Amino acid sequence: MLWQSKGWVLSFVLYSTIETELRHTNKLRTRLFLLLKMLLFSGVLVLLWYQLNGVKKEAWEQFGISKSWALFGAILLVIPNIYLAYRKWLVTLKTIEISADRKTKVHSFFAGLVTGLLTPNMIGNFIGRFYYFEKEHRANIAAFTVLSNIGQFLASITFGAVSVIWLGELLVWKDEERLMYVLLIIVVVSYLFFFYIDNFLRFFKKMKFGASFKQLLKKSPWFRTQILFLSFGRFLIFTLQFSLMLMAFGADWTLELIAAIWQVYLLTMIAPSLILGKVGVKESIALFVLASLSVNEVAILFASLSIWILNTVSPALLGLLICRDKSWRQQA
């Protein structure tokens, strides 16, 4: 929770810095997207090599695709996953009372996927979004996008807590009593922050957008409920997708496997990271958790990396194609 809170604070710091320092000239945009492509390509190669380098020879020999239908099903689930993420963005725009054509909505959404990929835990997805809109809307776009991201965090810790209660333990930590208290505190504090963030804003009286943010939340009392509902839907898709990918590589589908996957997402969400959507971090956690169920190490790595490529890299690459220079609005 501490690392996640730091991430939310970093989001607002990023907003302030970028809003003050960056001005969208054609030359700057060209360099920005070239840098994004280079970082994405080099990061994938380095982290992929790092993860695969420590796998034992026996695991490689036992690895293979045993259920092609499960692999196909996992790939198809990218569509509803991206759709629900887009619906969250539409709900955000409606709450902020921004009218935009469909092209602007789609382009800003995918631009957010690109910038989110290159920030810790995808917290920077608002950066690509707000440059498509007038300057007076940018602070609210940043704030409501971060609030939407917290909704996804809540989904992960909620199902993760259910898993711990269900199995009676965290598969990588056996101190059950202390764990239950820690999880309870994290869940309660997170939900209180999400639903009562309005009350915390009085401590930030100097932030100009605070009054506007509170007013918009007051006018849209169902915003957070809608975001939470869509976030839970996305999490269930993540679960099904991950389980199908593991099945494709030879794992057996069991309820215990589902519970273990929830714990992978719980630990991944609260773990610190740098860039690229926690790639490397998630794979390491997945190895610790799922290996306890005797799942093949190579299958775990390939399943986790495949999910990352499908849900994070592929949409970001599509975003790089969609958000060409001419797609960006000129903002001073």
Residues of the chain with pLDDT under 70: 1-64, 118-124, 172-177, 201-210, 271-280, 324-332
Nearest to 315 by CA among 89, 28, 17, 64: 89
pLDDT (0 to 100) of residue 191? 94
Q: Which residues pair with 170 in a beta bridge?
A: 173
pLDDT (0 to 100) of residue 328? 44
pLDDT (0 to 100) of residue 322? 78
SS3 177: helix
Tokens of 226: 């809608």
pLDDT (0 to 100) of residue 4? 45
Stated pTM of the model: 0.79
Task: Please tell me the distance from the alpha carbon of residue 22 to that of residue 17, in angstroms, as a whole number.
Answer: 8
With both helix axes pointing from N to C terminus, report the angle between 26-53 and 314-322 in degrees, rounded to the nearest 10: 160
pLDDT (0 to 100) of residue 7? 47
* Contact (Cβ atoms closer than 8 angstroms) between residue 227 and residue 214: no
Nearest to 326 by CA among 107, 98, 126: 107
The ranges assigned to domains in the chain are 2-327
Other CB atoms within 10 Å distance of the CB of residue 199? 11
Enumerate residues 6+ apart whose C-beta is below 8 A from 44.
276, 279, 313
| Residue 268 to residues 182, 272, 278, 279, Cα–Cα distance (Å) | 16, 8, 8, 10
pLDDT single digits (tens) 157-183: 999 999 988 887 777 666 666 777 888
pLDDT (0 to 100) of residue 279? 63
